[in-house]
Structure 1
């Protein structure tokens, strides 16, 4: 493969990774990290060395952790049942088939339905749904910030 094709693949992985931050079916920060690692490899790690790749790897791991922690913390803080958390996960999967709006709002619906099934209380179900949704949005925002930090480190190392 020519270097131009390798660089195109590297950039494509980073762009797909950014899309994956919003779409839960794609491991966004993993793709961003893979694109950065490929970019470093293309250049034989001369400009983007071990320190930069290590820093990006730490940020990728932190972003991956945020994926799981944020929604669960939001749900747990509102006193969510196990069914609410399962409902949020199922809502996320269902939302994939409904486009961006579905991805953003179906976890809220799934968590609320799961909580309602578990406790049969409307007010609690709505609170848990909203708390889970806010947790997901906070996690998504944190992943965006971390992904752009990863890209920033890569670009600075590449151009420095």
Structure 2
């Protein structure tokens, strides 16, 4: 197999794994997409995609990292989540990976609720209601972050494709 063909295949694999990583919280999605695009540009000796385009793609990658951190924290903070709730959401997200799509959807919510209940150490109607609100806010923050990361990843692919073919 030609070395450049192998490099392009690895680049495509990095992009595909990166796109999956925008949804799966364990993988650094957008940075992997960027790594794949950088490898493809390098393999082509930067003839089709040059440094100005790659600088914009790197900037979008940095924005995606900021969006990821901001969206989760913003969703949790807006509903008054404790640190235990945020830790619970992270643990629930990781644990949910092993349970497929239902785990990915319910894991962060359940983890945030359990973390918030542990924070209050009292099981009353009021704390359960607040914990549920915290779980929903944290989950919505994660969902917003995922949607924004997907949008950025596809914008990066579109920009790369334009630079490649124009």
TM bin (shorter chain): over 0.9
Per-residue displacement from partner, 1:54-85 (whole Å, max 9, x unpaired)? 01001111111112111111011000111101
Please give the TM-score of this superposition, normalised by the length of structure 1.
0.97
Match of 1:72 in 2: 73
Please give the TM-score of this superposition, normalised by the length of structure 2.
0.93
Match of 1:147 among 144, 148, 153: 153
| CA RMSD after TM alignment | 0.9
Separation in 2, partners of 1:143, 1:105: 20
Unaligned runs of 5+ in 2: none
Unaligned runs of 5+ in 1: none
Q: CA deviation at 1:103?
A: 1.6
Separation in 2, partners of 1:35, 1:90: 29
| Number of matched pairs | 160
Matches within 5 A, 1:1-160: 2-119=3-120, 120=122, 121-160=127-166
Q: CA deviation at 1:47?
A: 1.3
Which segments of structure 1 move beyond 6 Å, counting only runs of 4 or more? none
Pick the structure with greater CA Rg. 2
Separation in 1, partners of 2:101, 2:24: 8
Separation in 2, partners of 1:148, 1:101: 25
